[in-house]
Amino acid sequence: MRRNDLLDSGLLIGVVGAGAMGSGISQVAAAAGRKVLIYDQREGAVEAARDGILARMDKRVREGRLPAAEREAMASRLCPVATLEELAPCGLVVEAIVEELDAKRGLFAGLEGIVSADTVLASNTSSIPIGAIAAGLNRPDRVAGLHFFNPVPLMKLVEVIPAPDTAAEVIEGLMALSRVMEREPVRARDTPGFLVNFGGRPFVTEGLTIAQEGVASPAQIDAVMRDCWGFRMGPFELMDLTGMDVNLPVTEFIHHATFSDPRMRSTYLHRYKVATGQLGRKTGRGHYDYHDGAERPSPDAETRRSAAPAVAIAEPSDALLALLKEMGIEVLETDDGAVPLLAAPIGEDCSTLCSRIGADHRRLIGVDVTGDTTQRVTLMVPPGGDPAIRESVVARFNVARNVTLVGDSPGFIGQRICAMVANLGCEMAQLELANPGAIDAAMRLGLNYPRGPLELADAIGVERLHEIMRRIQEQTGDDRYRPSQWLRRRAQLGLSARAPAFPDLEDDA
């Protein structure tokens, strides 16, 4: 099929699978003026999907956001069919069935005997390699990935993925058709999880790791990532929304497919939630309780004592001094041996810092000055700290900020999670999964991140990011935190994380 064939307004699109994804794909295709034939082997599923689409359209009509005539036109373009054979006249068939390789292979093999030789076959798989789906087909050149995101009508990103034999005109046509459907397509390499599901692993898995280590609670981690780093949801809120039964299999698949790369590793806590049926909102309980009347745990440290009148600085930090000045906290020029000692570790825990500079661990409190500190400040304490010192510092910060108090951890909360996200984005660029601009666009659009991972690396500072990763790896002994070579080279040369490997090649994201 030529590129322009996929752009023809008379293109007939088949959608196999009438679940949330198939229903959403059918809706955006019909909204773009294409007639859609919807098939699902489950009795009543297609009719329920069509009714759901029209109910959403009816709501928009009532709200004045959609003309009634357009609603009727869309309804006429949504056509349930009872058999696969009725998809024979389609120029494009999009598969949105269960995430099982054998099921997808079987469906595409069956479709080859039904549709014309030029019909494009596209899979909405979120993680299974397109090349594996196309293997063994008579015409693998017409098979590609067309991965939408849930909820499809709201999420603008589409990943377009070529398999080894996919014809260039098929990819060009799907990219163009995606734009007609008012989506923003990004071409991705055919690797496990493609761009978004691959790059999105560390946000949730590092949150789980921090919680499993007892450093902080889910509520604390979520609050820090929202208030200090601008994420719309924290990792635990996100997992509860998507469902642990959805999140865990993708994580395990990508970890296995990358030969157990520790950067893709999750935790026992992840699997435990699924094993015990704590799947999130869909079951009424996940990391939070969603039953009526349930209260969410507070992320804020309790204030039990009055504020300390003054503090000393254990290690000079311009950002820490600026924060204390803004809050009106007096800083002694010399340590009197009694006041709280404050420091701003970068990629270190308080224990390592105390050992390195010889500070009194009983009085030392770490303050995270990375990220946004205008709403919330994260404080960290080493083992054996003086409770009175700790509580007085919490009280003093709590005068002007929400305070999250966490256990000793290299990189607090935000440094760890953001460094992992940014470092994996650098690795994605190193592996040429896409160009830097496409990687950033995919993560912003597909996951609603405030910045793409390479943009985040530049916001943190490439040299600082490399130092955070190097220090965490050194303290934990875990190659999960090994810096990407893409990151190392740019840190050593003082370049942007988005600097291409070959400067003469245009970033065409």
Instruction: Answer for the pair 453, 201: CB distance below 8 angstroms, yes or no.
Output: no
Q: Which residues are catalytic?
A: 126, 147, 159, 197
Phi, psi dihedrals of residue 427, rounded to the nearest 5°: -65, -35
pLDDT tens, residue order, the chain (509 aa):
555 678 888 899 999 999 999 999 999 999 999 999 999 999 999 999 999 999 999 999 999 999 999 999 999 999 999 999 999 999 999 999 999 999 999 999 999 999 999 999 999 999 899 999 999 999 999 999 999 998 999 999 999 999 999 999 999 999 999 999 999 999 999 999 999 999 999 999 999 999 999 999 999 999 999 999 999 999 999 999 989 998 999 999 999 999 999 999 999 999 999 999 999 999 999 999 999 999 999 999 988 878 878 999 999 999 999 999 999 999 999 999 999 999 999 999 999 999 999 999 999 999 999 999 999 999 999 999 999 999 999 999 999 999 999 999 999 999 999 999 999 999 999 999 999 999 999 999 999 999 999 999 999 999 999 999 999 999 999 999 999 999 999 999 999 999 999 876 555 44
- Is the Cβ–Cβ distance between 176 and 167 less than 8 Å? no
Place of tokens 């000393």: 312
Phi-psi domain of 401 (left: phi exceeds 0; alpha: psi -120 through 50; beta: other): beta
Is the separation of the CB atoms in 409 and 210 below 8 Å?
yes
> Could you report the per-residue pLDDT of 481-502, keeping only the tens digit for each?
999 999 999 999 999 999 999 8
Give the SS3 label for residue 10: coil
| Residues 6+ positions from 454 with CB-CB distance below 8 Å | 422, 425, 426, 429, 436, 439, 440, 497, 498
Q: Are 486 and 414 in contact (CB under 8 A)?
A: no
Contact between 439 and 199 under an 8 Å Cβ cutoff? The reply is: yes
Say which DSSP state 15 is in. Answer: E
| Separation between Cα atoms, residue 501 and residue 485, nearest integer Å | 12
Q: Is residue 109 a contact partner of residue 143, using CB atoms and an 8 Å limit?
A: no
- Tell me the CA distances in angstroms from 504 to 355, 455, 458, 499, one per residue in order: 47, 20, 21, 11
Instruction: Specify the CATH number of the domain 3-190.
Output: 3.40.50.720
Q: How far apart are CA 181 and CA 170, in angstroms?
A: 16
For 15-52, write each residue's pLDDT tens digit.
Answer: 999 999 999 999 999 999 999 999 999 999 999 999 99
Burial class (CB in 10 A: 0-12, 13-18, 19+), 474: middle
| DSSP bridge pairs for 12 | 35
Give this prediction's pTM: 0.92
Same fold, 3-190 and 310-406: yes
Domain 197-283 has CATH 1.10.10.10: no
Backbone angles phi, psi at 355, to 5 degrees: -65, -40
- Partners of 145 in beta bridges: 123, 161
* Cα separation, 235 vs 267, whole angstroms: 14
Fold for the domain defined by 310-406: Rossmann fold (3.40.50)
Alpha carbons 253 and 481: distance in angstroms, whole number: 20
Domain positions in the chain are 3-190, 197-283, 310-406
Strand partners, 312: 341
| pLDDT at position 182 | 96
Q: Is 236 buried (19+), middle (13-18) or exposed (0-12) by CB count in 10 A?
A: buried
Six-digit token pair at 501?
């490997």
DSSP 483-498: PPHHHHHHHHHT--TT
CA–CA dist 426, 434 (Å, integer): 11
